[in-house]
Structure 1
C-alpha cells in the first residue's frame, strides 16, 4: 500500500480549519497540513437566526482557498463538518446547497451530542487519563463531557461560546472587571445547573484554540523549558494569575502578548473565565490541555471502524509502537535489554539500594525500550539526540514530567551529562527523585552493554548483593569478548550511582 491522504474541514463559529493526514505503508497516520482561517461566522448570524449572505460568501471564499490545497492531493476521503453556528442557522439547507454546488463538498452538521462525543473520543485516544471532564469552547457553543474508566457518562452542550460571551457581556475589546464578574456569575450558574459536574475532583481537560492560547501564555510567562503543549498541566492559581495579568493590559498590548493569537485577543479573557469557573465548580485536581480535539475525534472514529473499536486499549503502547517505527527500534534487542535490566533491578530493589521501589520498574522498562534511540540519527552523539527527541516530542499517554523522566533515563551516558540535561529542569524534582532517575539511567545503560552487539550473547544473569559488592555472573551462549569489553567499560557509571563495587564474571556454556 502506498501513502494515502485523508482530509477534514472543520467549520466552526470562530475559525474554519483544514487538516490533511497521511497514512504510511505501516498503517500509521500523521498530520501533514493544518491550515486555519478566521471566519467569525457567529458575527454573521442575524437575530432571525439566518446566516447573512456576506457570511455565506465569506465561508465560500475560505473553502475555495482550501480547495486549492486539497486539489494538490489525491485524497482517499474528504470530510467537512460544521458545528454551532451552521447548526443553529435556520437557512442551513441553503448553506449546504451553496457549498455543494459551488465547492463540491458535502457538509455534515454535527449535533450537540456528536460534537461533545468527538471531543471526548479525541481525549481518551490521545491521553492516559482514565477519568476526566472535557471542555471545548467554540465560537457559539461549549461542550462538556464527564467520562470514567474511559467510558462517557454524561455530556452537555451549552448555548454559549467565546463569541457569544463577548456579545452578551463585553462592550469593548477588553472586558472591565465588572464585566468579568458578570461573565463569571453567569458561567457559575450555567455549570452548577448540571449536578454531575459539581465536586467531581478529577482533571478538567481543555480542547480547542482558546485552551491552547491560555497554555501558551502560561508557558511564556514561566519561560517553560520543555517543548510541546499536549498534556501540559496547569492549576487554579495559574489561571488566576493569567487572568489578572491580562486584565491590566490595553487591547494594543493584549494583541502582542506572547503565546496569544492576535485574532483571539478580544475573546481570550471570557474564555479563560470558562475554564476557571468550570475548574471551581468541579473542584478539579488540575487543568490539562489536549491538542487533539473534535477533528481528531471524527478521524479516530473513521480510523477505528476497521478494528471495530472506539477507544485504543493502551494509548501509551500505541505511542511506543510509533517510536519503534520512526526510529527503527529493534524489538529483539529491546526485549533482551529489558530482561537483563529487570534482573538487575529486582536484586537492587530487594537489597533496598538507592531507595528503588516496585513502582520504578515502569520507568525502567520504558527507558530500556527507547535507550540510545538517538543512534538512529548519529551514533557519535546518540545521547544528545536521544534526550532531545524524547524530551521534545509529544508522546500521547505521558505527561510532560513523565516524558522528561523517560528522556533522562533513555539518554543516560554519565553523571556529568545527566546533570547537564537536568539543569533547566532541576526544580522539577526532589533530591530523591533525581537519585532514582540517575540510578535507573545507569542501570539501563549497564544492561544495554550486555547486549552491545545485539546478538543476545548473554542469556541470563545471576546477581547477588554482598555488603558493598554487587556480584554478577553472566551466562553466555557464545564468545562474549565484545560484551565483556563494554560491560567493564560501563560498570563505573552504575558503581557511582549505587555507591557499590560491581564485579562481573562471564561464563560460556559448553
Structure 2
C-alpha cells in the first residue's frame, strides 16, 4: 500500500467522507464511505450568506469526519467544497471558523475545476472517447463536452436539485404540475442560453447521487440482473419511464420506492427534469451512468501530480485487467503465457478461415485469457463459479455491462452447461450469435490453459496443417512435456466444436523440427 487519502466532499445536499486506499500499483480501493445529508444549502440566507447555525453544523460534521479519517490511518485529508460555500458571501469566514474549530482547512473547488473533475472521472473510468458529462449537485450543475478524451467546453449552471426544489416546489407537493412546468421552462431556457452542447447527438454521461438514484430505480423496476451502476445505460425513453414512475407516487410511496434514497425523494423530480432537458438539447441517443465522479476526479488529479503517468486514459479496460492482479494475486507470468498461447491458437485457426473475430472480440479474448480462473485464489475446486461471480459483480472500468458479462463467461469458461447457466439470468443482454462466439472463444482459452498445465511456458508456436483428410494442429515446444499432452487431448473437443472439424494434435520439439527442416 502506498497511502490512504481521506476525501471530505462538502456538497450542497450532502457531506461525505470517502477513504481511498492507494495500492502499490496505484489501483484505487474505497475502504470507507460515510454520507450525511446535511443540506447546508438550506442555511444560505436571502443575503447569500451561510448562517451561524449552518457553519456550526458544517464544523461539527467535518470534525467528526477528520477523527474517523485518523482512526482509519489516512495519510492525507483532502477537504473540498463546492457550490454552497463557493457561492456564499461569507465563505472566508466559513473557512476560518471551521479551521479554528477542527484544524481542517476547506479548499474551494472553482466552477471550472468542478466540471473538470467530473469529466476526468469519466475519462479515467470509461472507454468512450466522445460525449457530454453532467454532474448535478445541490446548488450547481456542471456540464462538459469532450472529444477524443479531451475537454472541449464546460459550463457551470448556478442551479442544482436543492436550489431548484426551493425555487419552484417550496410549500408544494414534490410532483406539483405547475411547479414541474415552471422548472422545465427555466431549465430549458438556461440551456438555450448556452448552446455549446446543442444537437451534438452524443452519449450523455451522468455523475452524482441523483443520477445513481434514477439508475437504481430503473434497475429495480425492470428486475435487472447484473450488479453495479457503472456504465449502466438507459435510452431517453427509459428515462421518461422512470420520470413517470415518480409522478405516479405519493410522498409516502416515494419514501419506500426501491432504489430511491429517502433523502432524495423530494428533489429527484427536479433532477430528472434536468436530465430530460439535456437529452433534448443534445439530441442524445444514450444516457450512461458513471459510478465515479467529483471525488474520484480529485483523487486522479492528486495521484497524477504525485506519480506522473500513473494512468493511461486511452487504455482504461487494459489497466483495469492488469490492476486486478493486485487484488486477486494471481500469477501474471502464467496469465501472460495463457494469453499468448490463446492468440497463437486463434491465429492458426484464423489463417485457414476456421474462425474470425472482430477487434472487440479479440480484445475480450485476450482479457478473458489473462484473467482465466482468477477465482482459484478463493477455492481451486470451484474456480469457475468464483471467477464468474467476482467479475460479473464488480464495477470494471472501461467495460460496458454486455462486455463485462462477456469477460465474466470467458474468464470462467469450463463447459457448455456452466456457460449456459451463467448466462441464464441475463435475458437479452447478448444475442444468439454473440453467445455462440463467446462459447467458441471460451473453448480456445480453456484449451490454451491445458497447453501450459505445468506452468513452465514450454509452448512456443503452433500451426494447422492438412495431411490427406486429416486436420492436424502442430504444437511446437521447448523443454519437457508433462501433463500438457494428456490435458489437451482431453479438451481438444472445444476446438473441434468451434471449427466444426475433427483435429489431431502433434507435439513437436522445436529443436528437432529445426534440425529436420
Which residue number in structure 2 is paired with residue 451 of structure 1?
452
Which residue number in structure 1 is paired with residue 43 of structure 2?
44
Contact (CA 8 Å) 1:373, 1:386: kept in 2 or not? yes
Flag the 1:201–1:275 CA change in 2: closer, same or farther, 3 A: same
User: How far has the Cα of 1:50 moved from its partner?
Assistant: 0.9
Local SS of the residue matching 1:5: strand
Which residue number in structure 2 is paired with residue 251 of structure 1?
251
Flag the 1:341–1:162 CA change in 2: closer, same or farther, 3 A: same
Contact (CA 8 Å) 1:349, 1:358: kept in 2 or not? no
Unmatched 5+ residue regions in structure 1? Answer: none
Deviates more, 1:462-471 or 1:346-355: 462-471
Which residue number in structure 2 is paired with residue 193 of structure 1?
193
Cα distance between partner residues in 1 of 2:460 and 2:125: 37
Residues 293-321 of structure 1 show CA distances to partners (whole Å, capped at 9, x for unaligned) of: 11111111110013445963422222112
TM-score (norm 1): 0.96
Flag the 1:130–1:84 CA change in 2: closer, same or farther, 3 A: same
Which aligned segments of 4 or more residues in structure 1 are displaced greater than 6 angstroms?
465-468
User: How far has the Cα of 1:405 moved from its partner?
Assistant: 0.3
Cα distance between partner residues in 2 of 1:94 and 1:465: 83
Local SS of the residue matching 1:323: helix
Local SS of the residue matching 1:471: strand
User: How far has the Cα of 1:18 moved from its partner?
Assistant: 0.7
Which residue number in structure 2 is paired with residue 7 of structure 1?
6
**1:406 pairs with 2:407:** yes
Cα distance between partner residues in 1 of 2:478 and 2:83: 66
Cα distance between partner residues in 1 of 2:404 and 2:137: 30
User: How far has the Cα of 1:453 moved from its partner?
Assistant: 1.2
Cα distance between partner residues in 1 of 2:89 and 2:12: 15
Which residue number in structure 1 is paired with residue 154 of structure 2?
155
Which residue number in structure 1 is paired with residue 176 of structure 2?
176
Flag the 1:30–1:332 CA change in 2: closer, same or farther, 3 A: same
Cα distance between partner residues in 2 of 1:315 and 1:16: 29
Cα distance between partner residues in 2 of 1:447 and 1:310: 32
Contact (CA 8 Å) 1:458, 1:480: kept in 2 or not? no
Deviates more, 1:451-460 or 1:352-361: 352-361
Residues 24-64 of structure 1 show CA distances to partners (whole Å, capped at 9, x for unaligned) of: 34443311111100111111111101111221122122123
User: How far has the Cα of 1:430 moved from its partner?
Assistant: 1.6
Contact (CA 8 Å) 1:347, 1:464: kept in 2 or not? no
Cα distance between partner residues in 2 of 1:487 and 1:126: 38
User: How far has the Cα of 1:460 moved from its partner?
Assistant: 1.4
Which residue number in structure 1 is paired with residue 139 of structure 2?
140
Flag the 1:335–1:23 CA change in 2: closer, same or farther, 3 A: closer
Cα distance between partner residues in 1 of 2:259 and 2:11: 22
Flag the 1:27–1:429 CA change in 2: closer, same or farther, 3 A: closer
Contact (CA 8 Å) 1:83, 1:109: kept in 2 or not? yes
Local SS of the residue matching 2:433: helix
Unmatched 5+ residue regions in structure 2? Answer: 513-517
Q: How does 1:89-238 map to 2 (within 5 A)?
A: 89-170=88-169, 171-238=171-238
Contact (CA 8 Å) 2:451, 2:484: kept in 1 or not? yes
User: How far has the Cα of 1:69 moved from its partner?
Assistant: 0.7
Cα distance between partner residues in 1 of 2:260 and 2:403: 27
Cα distance between partner residues in 1 of 2:486 and 2:136: 59
Flag the 1:310–1:438 CA change in 2: closer, same or farther, 3 A: closer
Cα distance between partner residues in 1 of 2:312 and 2:481: 42
